[in-house]
Structure formats: C-alpha cells, structure tokens
Amino acid sequence: MVKILNQSQVECIVKAEAIVGESPLWSPHERVLYWVDISGQKIHRFNPRSAVNDTFHLPQPVTSVGLREKGGLIITLRKDFAFFDPETGDLKLLSDPEEDKPYDRFNDAKCDRQGRFWAGTMDDVKWNAPHGSLYRLDPDTKVTCMKTSVICANGLGWSPDNRVFYFTESFRYGIYAYNFNPATENISNRRLFASIDRNSDGFPDGLTVDEEGYVWSVHNAVGRVVRYSPSGAIDRVIEIPVPRPTSCIFGGDELDVLYITSARETMTSEEIAQAPLSGSLFAVKPGVKGLPEPYFTG
C-alpha cells in the first residue's frame, strides 16, 4: 500500500523566491545545507540550528554544487566546471566540455564514492531535444563523456551497494538504471527504472537514494516527491505545497530530514498568487535516513 504524506507534514524552512531553486546538498562537516538558485546566480547556505540562510552571488548561473575534500565546493556553472570557496569568494573555472554547443548548459550533478563529479547537460532552448550529455570529472580534472543524446539531464545517484547508477532524463519522462562498476567507472545495461505518464503534466526532476536503497524522485509541475522501491514500485508519496518542487536530499545530523527545493520559473503571476511559497526551501521527516554525500577528491 502506498503511503501518503500530505502538505501539512511539510515545513517551509526558508521562505524564498528562487527562480530555479536546485541542487540541495548537506555538508556533515559544516552541518549546513547548500542549495542554489540557478537563474538567480546564487548559492545559498542554510544553517538549521540558527535558521540563517547565507547567500553567495555568482557572476553567472550556477546549476549544481558538490563538496570538495580540499575545502570549498566543486560546482557547475552554465557552461563550466569550477571550484568555488564560499569563505573567500574565489572562483576558478576548470573547463567547458561543450564549447561547440552554445545553447546547452549544465543541469544536475553529484559526486560518486570514488571522488569523481558526474554532471549532465541539457538544451536550454529546446528542453525536449536530445542534445544533452553526461560527463564525469575526475580528480585530475580530466573530463570524460559517459553518454550522449540525453534529453534534459537531471537527478542522479547510486545504490547503497554502489552497483546501480540512477540517471534522470526529464523529457523522456523516465529514471534510468545502469550497472555501475566502481573500479572502472563504467556504466552499462541501461534500462527504464521508473517513468511518469507524459500526459500527467509532470516530469521527473532531482533525486536522492536513501540508506535502504529506495529512490526519492521529485515530480516537477505536479507538486510531489515519490519514493520508489529498488524494483521501481511506488512506495510512498509526499505532497508538496507548491507545484514546482525541483530536487531533494537527506540532511541533518542524523540524515533523517528530507530537504526539498522549489522553483517559480514559467509560473504566471496568478499561479504564484495561488502558491506564494514557490521558490522556497522545504523540509520533512519521512521516517527513513539518507546516505552521506561523497566529496570530490580533486
């Protein structure tokens, strides 16, 4: 039986007007949650103990953040991998793997447990075009293309045993599972893990994997987060009080809080009036724990 958590169980912890809130990331060392506003060109840092949400302004759109073992963050900007130090404001551009694709941009990204940073791209004009790719940034900053013909790269993650890699293509309306080889970093045997009805108005966005190996996928445009079993069956649904949730991650000292970002991009003024918390940061305790996010070792 599918368990439903309704909107009353979801708390708005940062009231914000992010255009595209995205990429929540819990830092266990700092005990804070990083998240971005892509179009607002901001990285936020929320401290749940003080309820303070610090903001760092970037010179261009920032699409994702990851923790860096040497300190600071590994990030993706619109076109570049980069290092960013929130304490000093130092920004170091690394590379643009798609210089020949001016309309493409980075979207979601995550570190694997071998210390590498995986990031996908999308066509920022024709969202449903198969122009994106999936890249792997190694600690020596070498970039490898892992997959092409991606339609709007989005949420990604790994199973607890590190044998399955999950990767979302938003406008194929599916989450795909791959065999993952930690030794070689190869992915293979692509298959559909879960999908959304193309006529439902929603699409799969960011995701995270919990300690039990279940996949939490945010369904943008329909205001929900869905937990899938390792076999792809729907286990529970969290109803979000805004229509455009974007991504989620477990955080808190016990990794028992699910943080959820949201957006107001493409919403009309009437729609925003009906859902004024759009663009805010939310939290819920779903009764399970997540996995710690790895660090980029470069």
Q: Active-site positions?
A: 205
In what side-by-side order are the strands of the sheet with 91-95? 91-95, 81-84, 73-77, 62-68, 295-296
> Residue ranges of the alpha helices (H) in the chain?
269-274
Token pair of 167, please? Answer: 């990767």
Dist. CA 92–CA 70, nearest whole Å:
14
For residue 90, what are the contacts with CB-CB under 8 A and spacing of at least 6?
A: 72, 83, 84
Strands 62-68 and 73-77 come out as: antiparallel
Beta bridge partners of residue 220, listed in sequence order: 203
Question: What kind and span of H or E run contains 271?
Answer: helix 269-274
Q: How big is the chain by its Cα radius of gyration, in Å?
A: 17
Hey, how many other C-beta atoms are within 10 angstroms of the C-beta on 185? 16
For residues 215 and 59, give the distance between their C-alpha atoms in angstroms, rounded to a whole number: 34
Residue type, 181: N
d(CA 9, CA 262): 17
- Tokens matching residue 79: 């076109």
Give me 192's structure tokens: 């559909």
- Token pair recorded at residue 134: 């999936």
